[in-house]
A and B are shown apart, each in its own frame.
Chain A
């Protein structure tokens, strides 16, 4: 093995070859032109950007950093664009105090109430109060008196098209709009789970169980604990008992026809007909 500083004959020859290389001269015309510019102070960057901004941008660290920033910015922009319109409070009726995420809000403070009613917020609606929320073009939901539920998460416009909500007690009436097409909303009650893909229905959570009444379209419902999901078609209801008895199917409750129809028709203008 050679000493670190010792050169092999091949290396010595290589070194002499490099040292013996000729010294090329620049093209006379280029040389003269550049000389004139240099002496007069009019020298300008090369027509082709040799160094400077472009190479700076293209340096690996900058390039990758820029790519990451661009991707992050694109992700933020796409995520923002993907968001469905926020929930807006369409109507609130009655008199009382609504509890949102543990904070009591008198319904007279409509602006404060609307600000707090965001996707995922837990809402306790007292007796005598009814609240309607709408996401323009997507979904409208009515919280009936004596209802405890969460405000549904809104499905994205293009991806992440699933929302969830929870109904602990009381009744939710839901109708979907044109923008909801292809999306899915899952609502869980203590004993049942429903999956919505485009419909008008009421979900009633009672001490004995959960009743799903479908006015339009088709909604799936099954036990929250798991197992098969059952389609409930237009005009029918299905009852999931809290004590584990077998589900019951029948025509939808007569008491739901009018309020569901009225709710659907009132929201149709903003949601778009389906």
Chain B
């Protein structure tokens, strides 16, 4: 596998909007709906919102680590969307556009110094025996609990990354954007985006190895 492997994603940005094809879970909204979003049609706006709100919120949460702040970012993103709806390209999936707005809002917040990642007091090293417990056979409820705990450690490892590396890995692997799209959003060269992602993955791999064994 290579870092360029594109993850399968429920709403892959490469999806083009089509005429009347129904929008299943994760698929882009049909073009005619996006056209009505451009015209601020309330019903279309509702569909647009329902389709993307969790995606925007999830990305903000993964980048910022705090629900309250992620909600503020989500509000900000949809405010911008409402204001710029007329500029929406109905022929393209708006997911990368939303990811760009969300990422930029998060970066503005980081730059402002108003937000500091609320790092948990229980550091990655403070989970003795977790690796062993995670690899043992467990009953279903306990397995679910351990999976949650494992995800919490992954989340903490992501939050511990420097902001530019966090953006690189979250946009590529969590959000499903390719390196070219990540490069456009972050304003760097394609090669630099790939390199940054590699560094992020390297740091994350090292961190998770220490935690999960």
Interface string of B196-210 (1 = CB under 8 A from A): 001001101111110
Interface string of B133-160 (1 = CB under 8 A from A): 0000000000000000011001101100
CA distance in complex: A58, B79 (Å): 21
| Choice from B109, B150, B202 contacting A11 with Cβ under 8 Å | B202
Q: Judge if B78 is at the interface, Cβ distance under 8 Å.
A: yes
Shortest B65–chain A CB gap in Å is 11
Q: CB-CB < 8 A to B50: which residues of A?
A: 35
Judge whether A10 and B206 touch: CB under 8 Å: yes
Q: How many residues of B contact A (CB 8 A)?
A: 59
Shortest B167–chain A CB gap in Å is 12
Given A27-B71, A50-B69, A51-B108, A39:B45 Cβ within 8 A: yes
Q: CB-CB < 8 A to A102: which residues of B?
A: none
| Choice from B69, B82, B105, B109 contacting A38 with Cβ under 8 Å | B82
Q: Judge if B3 is at the interface, Cβ distance under 8 Å.
A: yes
| Choice from B57, B111, B170 contacting A55 with Cβ under 8 Å | B111
Q: How large is the interface on A (under 10, 10 to 19, 20 to 34, 35 or more residues)?
A: 35 or more
CA distance in complex: A58, B116 (Å): 14
A sample of 17 more A-B contacts (CB under 8 A), given A25-B54, A26-B71, A51-B104, is A4-B198, A7-B1, A8-B202, A10-B206, A11-B3, A14-B205, A15-B1, A18-B154, A18-B170, A22-B151, A24-B67, A35-B46, A35-B50, A41-B82, A45-B79, A51-B112, A55-B114
List 28 A-B residue pairs with CB atoms under 8 Å apart, sorted by A's residue number. A5-B2, A7-B201, A8-B202, A11-B198, A12-B205, A15-B201, A17-B154, A18-B158, A18-B173, A18-B174, A23-B58, A24-B57, A24-B61, A26-B71, A30-B74, A34-B49, A34-B75, A38-B46, A38-B78, A39-B46, A45-B76, A48-B72, A50-B75, A51-B73, A51-B104, A55-B111, A58-B114, A59-B108
